[in-house]
Amino acid sequence: MHDIAQHQIVFLDRDSLIADIRTPAFAHRWRDYPATDAGDVVARLRGAAIAITNKVPLRADAIAQLPDLKMIAVAATGTDNVDLAACRERGIAVANIRNYSLVSVPEHCFALILAVRRNLRAYAADVEAGRWERSTRFCLLDHPIGDLAGSRLGIVGYGALGRRVAQIGRAFGMEIAVASRSPVADSDVVPLPLAELLATSDVVSLHLPLNDQTRHMIGARELATMKRSTILINTARGGLVDEAALARALTDGTIAGAGFDVLSKEPPVPENPLLQLRLPNFVLTPHVAWASSGAMQTLADMLVDNLEAWVAGSPKNIV
């Protein structure tokens, strides 16, 4: 058991989690901040044994100045904001949250798929502009509407989220194809190399972590291999896709559309090419796929579970 009775827990970006956080069942002192700039990380964590961060970066230079730090609890699944190598070198445990958004992210994924496939943005804009009222027919038919049934859903990455997306896709009557580094056991799934999946799928949905191997895995060359009727969905990490290449592909009609919940830098810079798009076939939401009220409360409960397990000497969800 770790004795942290005289130490502190510091949550660097408490406002990133809208949920009740129960009091950890061990002696501690708790301090949290609504948000933390990179330049304030060291000062705020000085003397802390446990740091909690959702998206605040904890890099090697900061970690080197925090001799009391023993654990970093990431209030999310992704750990690309933490220098894991520096933590291992210093013996700092890093725990993350896993499978807390198995409902929220897949549902958001299909909200994006349906919005793009059925041209909801274009039709809603027509109604707001008064075009339906001026129509000579009972409906407007100015934008193509596609069905999901009978189409191929290509899932890149077949972890817990990818499998849940596949489950929903089956309910829509979609054929499921998967590109995964791990063997796929599901008998009704078509395992494919990535190149073939991109070339044959009607919807491509990304469910991968961001690392050196996956960064910009979808670029101009990959987009050019997709069918012109394909839509690309990304609820994982923005850096998986070359954003400039995607903006060109959407503008040129290389692919039919895209639905994204993530960008390479968040909050985004105004110059991000995807922010400049004003296209009905592109839907961008501000990294909220994970953030249903139920998912956030589950995350908060798992966060404290991770703290208590580490203090009890039985750490879990260690990265």
Q: How far apart are CA 120 and CA 151, in angstroms?
A: 19
How confident is the model at residue 151, as a pLDDT?
98
Residue 265 resides in a domain: yes
Give residue 78's pLDDT band: very low, low, confident or very high (50, 70, 90). Answer: confident
Identify the residue whose tokens are 């009557």: 173
Residue 48 resides in a domain: yes
**Tally of domains within the chain:** 2
226 and 127, same domain (yes or no): yes
Instruction: Give me the CATH number covering residue 61.
Output: 3.40.50.720
163 and 128, same domain (yes or no): yes
124 and 273, same domain (yes or no): yes
How confident is the model at residue 201, as a pLDDT?
98
239 and 149, same domain (yes or no): yes
Residue 289 resides in a domain: no
Closest CA to 311 of 27, 12, 51, 23: 27
Q: How far apart are CA 107 and CA 163, in angstroms?
A: 13
80 and 118, same domain (yes or no): no
User: Residues with catalytic annotation?
Assistant: 237, 266, 287
Residue 316 resides in a domain: no
93 and 152, same domain (yes or no): no
Task: Judge whether residue 2 has pLDDT over 90.
Answer: no
Residue 2 resides in a domain: no
Closest CA to 231 of 252, 205, 210: 205
Task: Judge whether residue 6 has pLDDT over 60.
Answer: no
Residue 1 resides in a domain: no
90 and 236, same domain (yes or no): no
Give residue-wise pLDDT tens across range 111-165. Answer: 999 999 999 999 999 999 999 999 999 999 999 999 999 999 999 999 999 999 9
**Positive or negative, the Cα torsion across 37, 284, 81, 303?**
positive
176 and 78, same domain (yes or no): no
254 and 119, same domain (yes or no): yes
Q: CB of 8 within 8 A of CB of 32?
A: no
Range of the domain at 226: 104-284
Q: How far apart are CA 197 and CA 205, in angstroms?
A: 11
Q: CB of 281 within 8 A of CB of 258?
A: yes
Identify the residue whose tokens are 């707001």: 128
**Once rounded to an integer, what is the mean pLDDT over residues 12-24?**
96
- Judging by beta carbons within 10 Å of its beta carbon (0-12, 13-18, 19+), is residue 98 exposed, middle or buried? middle
How confident is the model at residue 115, as a pLDDT?
98
Q: In what order do the strands lie in the sheet with 8-11?
A: 29-32, 8-11, 48-53, 71-74, 93-95
175 and 271, same domain (yes or no): yes
How confident is the model at residue 186, as a pLDDT?
87
Residue 144 resides in a domain: yes
171 and 228, same domain (yes or no): yes
Q: How far apart are CA 118 and CA 312, in angstroms?
A: 51
